[in-house]
Chains A and B, each alone.
Chain A
Amino acid sequence: MKLYHGEPNAASLTVMAALFEKGINAEFEAIDLCAGERHDLPITYGVEVLRSVEGEGPVLVNNGEAMADSVFIGCMLDESKGDATLLAGDAYRRWQIMVWCRHVIERVAPAASYIGNQAYLQDALKRMSDADFAALTAKIAAEDLRGRWEEVRQGDFTEERLAECRAKIVQMVDKIEAQLSGDWIFGDFSLADLETYSWLRGMLSLVPESFDGHDSVIAWMGRVQDRPSVAKALSLSVTGSPEKAWPVGPEINRWG
């Protein structure tokens, strides 16, 4: 098993920490997702990586198959070794975790990526030469993903959309606060805690107002960060500031 991962942030952080949570041995190779290195790996690409709705996430190669989509990789890892821990419990609790993660995937991740891309990635892409950027995007199979790269380089961000994205982060923090009654979102630690934390960690500095007056959420984030699995994943950062690494993410829902 080999994981090609970006900086321990967002989707990459989920998979890195999930491997450590489960104690599954895998070879780790850091790649620069923000430079498009995911499209240039020595692997056999299948539809699952080329057309992943997640955008520029990590790629796990297992049994020769290149896998994408961090939440479902997390499910697979949990189902692969020992008792369930990331998705433990009865069918109803697993339903709760899957619905929660779907909300993060579909609403929070695109919003956080938009905010993170605006803050950090666009300047890096603007510094690239036209030829280098064209060479990079030529390797991207999915039209919509290629389009998002182009929008970031063009600085195609609107205040209205940024405000909508910030509102989604505020809503997510409110939602966590409303759900927390003990240490974790659904009783024991689960994939919901990990996935939510992975996308929100960088929002602490980018949308700090979301966390105002939400001490219980800040404390919860501290508990996630202190887990050995998460601490170990964060220690693998190449840049020292993984919260600033925002590769091109999932698309903002076209239906609004």
Chain B
Amino acid sequence: MTDVTLYHWEPNANSGKPMLALAEKGVDYNSHYLDLLNFDQHDPEYLKINPQGTIPAMTHGNLMLTESTAIMEYVNEAFDGPELMPSDPQARWRVRWWMKFFDQWFAPSVSMMGWNWFVGPSVRERDPEELAARIERIPMPERRVAWKKAIYGLFSEEELRVSQQRAEIGITLLEEELTKHKWLGTDEYTLADINGFNLGFALPMSQPDHCNDEKTPHTMEWLRKIYERPATKETWAKGRTELASRVTFLERQ
């Protein structure tokens, strides 16, 4: 019996971070899949657990935790299993720096394109009145804005241009960083690699001109090495859509 329940969507982006961290630690958890495309995260039943209506969320006994990167740090500290942060404080700073760079700069740009390409079109076909009602139910105002933009295709050309530019810069910076250490920012496999994989595993497909074996060999090798880990395989098998199944692109030929 486990007292850990994770409420998550696909092993991808924010949901995938605690899923993969839990798997690396060997923590048995109740996996509660919420279909983001069906707005399960705004259902009254889920709002009783996480009033913010965001995914992922984790309960551990009577504690409820949100914010994927902070949940990962909690998972690493609260459970036995392999250490997923370096012991050196300065290396820990580097790990946290990269996670912030991903969470607040690189990933939002990649995800804006993902929402424009996948999330928006996937739900756009629904009954317009039902959609409008669903949007009104979203607790956090900033998430309401994001959903409206995705559903109605309202990301401006300028927003998408900036996102594309940032994706390209992010890919270049990541490649440079991966030439410096065995893993991201340090020689140990850490939460930064887990975080980065969730952002990066699909880049060879979504950004094939910029992320590929010729231009970013270190990134490709890094992604393949992470994909080969048993925890990654086990976690991505929990996916139900093509978002997650794209990961097989990383199989070595």
Q: A residues near B, CB below 8 A?
A: 47-48, 51-53, 62-63, 65, 67-69, 72-73, 75-76, 79-80, 90-92, 94-95, 98-99, 102, 105-106, 143-144, 250, 253-256
CB < 8 Å neighbour of A76 from B65, B90, B141: B90
- List 19 contacting pairs A-B, 8 Å CB cutoff, sorted by A: A53-B101, A53-B105, A67-B93, A67-B97, A68-B97, A69-B93, A73-B93, A75-B92, A75-B96, A91-B73, A91-B77, A92-B65, A94-B74, A95-B71, A99-B66, A102-B67, A102-B70, A143-B169, A254-B109
Q: B105: shortest Cβ distance to chain A, in Å?
A: 5
Residues from chain B with a CB closer than 8 A to the CB of A90 are 78
- Whose C-beta in chain A lies nearest to the C-beta of B71? A95
A99 and B142 contacting across the interface, CB-CB below 8 Å:
no
The answer for the CA separation of A69 and B73 in the assembled complex, in Å, is: 18
Residues from chain A with a CB closer than 8 A to the CB of B78 are 90-92
Residues from chain B with a CB closer than 8 A to the CB of A92 are 63, 65, 74, 78
A47 and B173 contacting across the interface, CB-CB below 8 Å:
yes
Contacts known (A91-B78, A102-B67, A106-B104); A47 close to B177, Cβ less than 8 A: yes
A99 and B70 contacting across the interface, CB-CB below 8 Å:
yes
Contacts known (A51-B173, A69-B100, A255-B142); A76 close to B73, Cβ less than 8 A: no
- Per the 8 Å Cβ criterion, residues 76-121 of B in contact with A are 77-78, 89-90, 92-94, 96-97, 100-101, 104-105, 108-109, 112
B97 and A72 contacting across the interface, CB-CB below 8 Å:
yes
CB < 8 Å neighbour of A255 from B69, B93, B146, B176: B146
A79 and B92 contacting across the interface, CB-CB below 8 Å:
yes
Cβ of B37 under 8 Å from chain A: no
Residues from chain A with a CB closer than 8 A to the CB of B94 are 48
The answer for the CA separation of A99 and B104 in the assembled complex, in Å, is: 14
CB < 8 Å neighbour of B162 from A75, A253, A254: A254
Residues from chain B with a CB closer than 8 A to the CB of A255 are 108, 112, 142, 145-146
Cβ of B159 under 8 Å from chain A: yes
Q: B241: shortest Cβ distance to chain A, in Å?
A: 22
- Whose C-beta in chain B lies nearest to the C-beta of A142? B169
The answer for the CA separation of A90 and B65 in the assembled complex, in Å, is: 14
- Whose C-beta in chain B lies nearest to the C-beta of A167? B141
The answer for the CA separation of A5 and B92 in the assembled complex, in Å, is: 22
Residues from chain A with a CB closer than 8 A to the CB of B70 are 95, 98-99, 102
The answer for the CA separation of A99 and B96 in the assembled complex, in Å, is: 13
The answer for the CA separation of A48 and B90 in the assembled complex, in Å, is: 12
- Whose C-beta in chain A lies nearest to the C-beta of B87? A79
B90 and A51 contacting across the interface, CB-CB below 8 Å:
no
The answer for the CA separation of A255 and B162 in the assembled complex, in Å, is: 12
